[in-house]
Structure 1
Amino acid sequence: MTESTLTESTVNASTASAGLPSVETITQLQIDTVAAWHTGPIENTYDDFLELVCRQHEFNYRLWHEEDIARSPTADDVRIATVKRAIDKLNQQRNDMIEKLDDAITERLAQANVRPESGARINTETPGSAIDRLSIMSLRLYHYREQLEREDADAEHKSKVAARIALCQQQHADLSNSLQELLADIFSGKKQHRTYRQMKMYNDPSLNPEIYQA
């Protein structure tokens, strides 16, 4: 993982007292569990903030594989309907966990007595959202590497996959660095931190007309 040492040390210094793990620890959890869950049971053996990271990551893991099923040409209408409902539920849970991650950071900021500076700006993406994107990227990298190892794939397919892996690795490193910088700014008071509520309407029986009119 090609993350900036200087940025990482800055983040560690400003967040360690608040009990927040490093970005490197978070991304390694995501990489390790994707590999472990493909060969064994889905388990969450982590504590505190990392337990939340792992739980959020699990919903992405389950979503990934349900989305694969939904696109299978052999899936009949009943199977697709079942999978679609599972995807809706998992996506709601995934978004709920993004909020929980951001709420947990708010709690740690309060515990560390960190206050944003006057005029501190708000980022367009929260740390929870960035962690979610890194989770998805770890899944993408794992499955692209599976494609690279396919015995039935020709050289052209493997060349295309190798190029995409290189691009995904660069994006993963870029996003990791951006998250490090964002956390450093938040815990130093240079940026404000807020939880952005998803407020999904389609799963709420009182807001989705297809549900309450039925």
Structure 2
Amino acid sequence: MTDQNTLQSLAVAQLHDRLLATPAWPADTALLPSEPLWHWVATNHRNNCLLWAEEDLARRTTVSDAEIAKNKRAIDGYNQARNDATERVDELLLIGLGLVDAESARSDAPRSTVPAGARLNSETAGSMIDRMSIMALKIDAMRKQTLRTDVDDAHRASSQVKLERLLQQRADLGDCLDGLLADCAAGKAYFKVYRQFKMYNDARFNPALVAEQKAQQQAAGQKAAGG
């Protein structure tokens, strides 16, 4: 594995593909690399894989509403974890590239060490790696369509065309990631850690959950008052 100073998109894609080809993935967390940056790259990928599976299950039409609700709650959790991992990837990359003070990187006010004149990139390297993870899932799923024996030749041929497009899209995205990291290393560009603040998962901010809590408190108060 490479470190955050020499990370290349090819190594990211190879990690994604290798994990998808491993039977125990994504259940076995022992497959996560120990090196911090790659650990979080793989953790992001793992949560995308778990999220993908739950999204498939949530579209079932012959199970109870309770089962779908269970899937939707799982989706929220995996989506939060996926974003948290993306933020950790960005923090470690910025530290490795010398673009943020290491001690403040995880705070709400990280101290920037960006060279004067560097341009701000709107998309972070971590978010590009997250997109590559999703592309790996699409590629894996489409490749399986090209190998099906229960469909006709037209289906397999159409799937092969789509697979080739997906592979090109991932390669293009990887080139953009490599270009951004090269510019960052040269002091020409930088990116920031953007906190996602997924408010729908937080009972303090989600209006529906706040209303639910108030209703429960009022009901409890009325019950207590009534003896």
TM range (shorter): 0.7 to 0.9
1:59 aligns with 2:60: no
Residue matched to 2:21? 35
Letter matched to residue 151 of structure 1: T
1:22 aligns with 2:2: no
> For residues 8-157 of structure 1, what are the structure 2 equivalents within 5 Å?
19-37=5-23, 41-43=27-29, 44-46=31-33, 47-110=35-98, 115-157=113-155
Greater relative contact order, per chain length (Cα 8 Å cut-off, separation 6+):
1
Letter matched to residue 84 of structure 1: K
Residues 56 and 94 in structure 1, CA contact (< 8 A), matched pair in contact too: yes
C-alpha spacing 1:100/1:31, structure 2 compared with 1 (3 Å): same
Q: Secondary structure at 2:39's aligned position in 1?
A: helix
Q: Using structure 1 for the length normalisation, give the TM-score.
A: 0.85
Of 188, 194, 197, which aligns to 1:196?
194
Separation in structure 2 between the aligned mates of residue 122 and residue 173 of structure 1, nearest angstrom: 23
Runs of 4+ in 1 over 6 A off after TM superposition: 111-114
Separation in structure 2 between the aligned mates of residue 52 and residue 123 of structure 1, nearest angstrom: 21
Letter matched to residue 22 of structure 1: Q
TM-fit CA distance, 1:37: 4.0
C-alpha spacing 1:40/1:198, structure 2 compared with 1 (3 Å): closer
Residues 137 and 168 in structure 1, CA contact (< 8 A), matched pair in contact too: yes
C-alpha spacing 1:45/1:191, structure 2 compared with 1 (3 Å): same
TM-fit CA distance, 1:189: 0.8
C-alpha spacing 1:22/1:75, structure 2 compared with 1 (3 Å): same
Q: Secondary structure at 1:150's aligned position in 2?
A: coil
Residues 60 and 94 in structure 1, CA contact (< 8 A), matched pair in contact too: yes
Separation in structure 1 between the aligned mates of residue 164 and residue 67 of structure 2, nearest angstrom: 35
Separation in structure 2 between the aligned mates of residue 41 and residue 173 of structure 1, nearest angstrom: 28
Separation in structure 1 between the aligned mates of residue 38 and residue 136 of structure 2, nearest angstrom: 16
Higher radius of gyration, 1 or 2: 2
TM-fit CA distance, 1:28: 0.6
Of 137, 160, 163, which aligns to 2:161?
163
Separation in structure 1 between the aligned mates of residue 142 and residue 10 of structure 2, nearest angstrom: 21
TM-fit CA distance, 1:19: 4.8
Unmatched 5+ stretches in structure 1: 1-14
Residue matched to 2:207? 209
TM-fit CA distance, 1:134: 0.4
Residues 69 and 83 in structure 1, CA contact (< 8 A), matched pair in contact too: yes
Q: What RMSD over aligned residues (CA atoms) do the two structures have, in Å?
A: 2.2
State, as a whole percentage, how many aligned pairs show the same letter: 37
Separation in structure 2 between the aligned mates of residue 122 and residue 201 of structure 1, nearest angstrom: 26
Letter matched to residue 21 of structure 1: L
